[in-house]
Amino acid sequence: MFKAFKKKSTKSKIAIIAIAVLILALVVYVLYSQFKPEEPVQYEMVKVVKGSITDSLEVSGTVKSGYSHNFVAIDGVVAEAVKVSVGDEVKKGDLIATFNVSGASQYLVEAKKDYDSAQKDYNNAVAAAKNTSASKANNEKAVKDKKAEIAAKEKEIAALESQLEAAGSAVTEASIPQEQIDAIVAQMRESGATEEQINAFVSAASSVKVPSSDSNNAVYQAVIQKNLELSKLNAELTALQAEGAVTISTDNDTYLDALKNVADSKKKTYEGIKSVYDELKNGWYADKDGIITKVNIKPGEAFVPVQENTDAYGLSSLFGNTQYSGILSSIIGSSEDSKIGTGVTLDSYEDLIVSVSVGKADLIKISTGMAATITSLNKTYEGEITYVAASATEQDGLDISSITGSLLGGSGSGGALVEVKIKNPDKNVVIGFDADVKIALQEVNDVLKVPVEAVLYDSGSYYVYIYDSKEGTVKKQTITHGILDDTHYQIVSGINEGDEVIKSPDPALADGAKVAQKKA
């Protein structure tokens, strides 16, 4: 075979050698491909470091005015000039409207008359109560004395009846003769007895049965007389007790309190209407910078109140900053004949809030004074929690336009209202627009932390993969975590500062597997 190869031409020899080398290279490649070691999977590694983490809650809400002033008008008042329309921006001190109040003066007069009448009733009751105290003492003594007279009279009658029985004569029961009853009635009328007293006496005397005896006529007559006197005494006692009951009722504290409450309510109504009347007479002026969101008045036309839920006025905004803001329920009712209504509403731009709904799990973490950030139209503002509802509500939607200040409200079934005041708002914050709110719930400093992508969860446990750079292997390690933010977990136990962990590991990665660090 070698001799045959030597006989070949140089060209043929080169070709044979080239083919042999190619075959050998192919065999070597196939063998290498079959038996070469598998390349370890490459991962990005991150070191466990110390730092700060802030736990936060992100929610969306609606921008509202934290201060809404309802300028209130009285039925019949005529707007002479209206300087604003819905959507107008106003500055503090700007004139809003002027009025002719003559058409509304009747309500002020009626309210004053009602108040004066209620106060008079209360004053009369107080005066009567003072007299009642003395009358009650006199009545109690008179009742006591009358009962003593009755007891003495009953003893006299018992003694006379004993005499009749001791006489041994036949004794029968008989009614008191009508003529003797009539004689006593005549005496009672002459002495000024009332018909009620007389009727009570006649009823008692007519029902009395007295013992009679033919042989003891004088004693029998005395029994009749004493029983008539007893009936009269019982009638007088009944009258005294009835008089005492009336005295007690007029002296009752509850009765006086009820009259005072009526008088106080009428007073608040009068003072409230007078406050509205005076404000109308002086004209309406903006008390803050803001925007006009409602106009229910027209120049030259008499004002007719639009029936609204009384909550729409807001207890703190009914009269702006006047002292009569607490009388809403007294002068604005749900009845069809309400004399008061909102003419213009001014929402302040100086006090903008975002109203959000928070679930019960997050509500317990939130308190007033907490910091927050608000994002509106891609611009971020600092904020602060100013109100946290005490409980969840079941309203269909959040409607802070019907709430002024920090009254309870709700936003969606089962949610609790939280209000976030926006610090230094500008034109990018628009009333009625949505805004995103991020509330800083808790901050921890100088704690171990790892990226959220490094932490996996399985079967109730959280774990990471620790990388051993010397061996090129990983260890699956269970951890305990604390709070977390958008990017990091706080590590409480399981790993140490300086450890390297895999970022975004494969959940199926085996404990002890070979891995490689991904090159930058």
Q: How many domains does the chain have?
A: 4
Q: Are 356 and 418 in contact (CB under 8 A)?
A: yes
The burial class, CB within 10 Å (0-12 / 13-18 / 19+), for 50 is exposed
333 domain residue, yes or no: no
**HSE-up (13 A, CA, CB side) for residue 117:** 6
Cα–Cα distance, 372 to 367 (Å, whole number): 11
Cα–Cα distance, 97 to 78 (Å, whole number): 10
Residue pLDDT, tens place only, 138-194: 788 888 888 888 888 888 888 887 877 776 555 567 777 788 788 878 877 887 777
The burial class, CB within 10 Å (0-12 / 13-18 / 19+), for 229 is middle
Angle at 259 between CA 254 and CA 262, to 5 degrees: 125
Of 412, 442, 472, which closes a domain?
442
Domain identity same for 142 and 17: no
Domain identity same for 464 and 424: no
Domain identity same for 129 and 216: yes
Cα–Cα distance, 266 to 118 (Å, whole number): 7
Phi, psi values for residue 24, rounded to 5°: -65, -45
308 domain residue, yes or no: no
Per-residue model confidence (pLDDT) at position 124: 87
The burial class, CB within 10 Å (0-12 / 13-18 / 19+), for 265 is middle
What CATH number is associated with residue 417? 2.40.30.170
Strand segments, DSSP code E, in 296-351 are 340-348
Cα–Cα distance, 461 to 422 (Å, whole number): 40
| SS3 label, residue 86 | coil
464 domain residue, yes or no: yes
Per-residue model confidence (pLDDT) at position 38: 65
Residue pLDDT, tens place only, 8-46: 566 666 766 777 777 777 766 666 556 555 678 889 999
For 340, residues 6+ apart whose C-beta sits below 8 A from its C-beta are 72, 73, 74, 75, 273, 276, 305, 331, 332
Of 250, 269, 291, which closes a domain?
250
Domain identity same for 139 and 244: yes
Strand partners, 294: 345
Domain identity same for 428 and 484: no
Domain identity same for 377 and 431: yes
Spatial CA neighbour of 438 closest among 514, 518, 381: 381
186 domain residue, yes or no: yes
Domain identity same for 213 and 118: yes
User: Cβ–Cβ contacts within 10 Å for residue 74, how many?
Assistant: 24
Spatial CA neighbour of 408 closest among 390, 394, 420, 386: 390
504 domain residue, yes or no: yes
Per-residue model confidence (pLDDT) at position 408: 31
404 domain residue, yes or no: yes
Per-residue model confidence (pLDDT) at position 79: 94
What CATH number is associated with residue 503? 2.40.420.20
Domain identity same for 241 and 117: yes
What tokens were used for 460? 């109730």
Domain identity same for 450 and 437: no
Q: Are 121 and 259 in contact (CB under 8 A)?
A: yes
In which residue are the tokens 């008390």 written? 287
User: Cβ–Cβ contacts within 10 Å for residue 346, how many?
Assistant: 28
340 domain residue, yes or no: no
Strand partners, 236: none
Per-residue model confidence (pLDDT) at position 125: 84
Give the chain's count of helices (H) and strands (E).
Answer: 9, 22
Spatial CA neighbour of 389 closest among 369, 413, 360: 360
pTM reported for the whole predicted model: 0.49
Domain identity same for 421 and 480: no
Of 208, 228, 250, which closes a domain?
250
Domain identity same for 470 and 407: no
Per-residue model confidence (pLDDT) at position 412: 40
CA 176 to each of CA 210, 216, 219, 223, 292: distance values in angstroms, whole numbers, following the listed order: 7, 16, 14, 10, 90
489 domain residue, yes or no: yes
Domain identity same for 234 and 135: yes
Cα–Cα distance, 213 to 167 (Å, whole number): 9
Cα–Cα distance, 393 to 357 (Å, whole number): 10
Per-residue model confidence (pLDDT) at position 452: 93
Q: Which residues of the chain have pLDDT under 70?
A: 1-13, 15-16, 27-38, 132-133, 167-172, 211-216, 246-252, 307-337, 392-414, 520
Domain of residue 489: give its range.
42-56+443-517
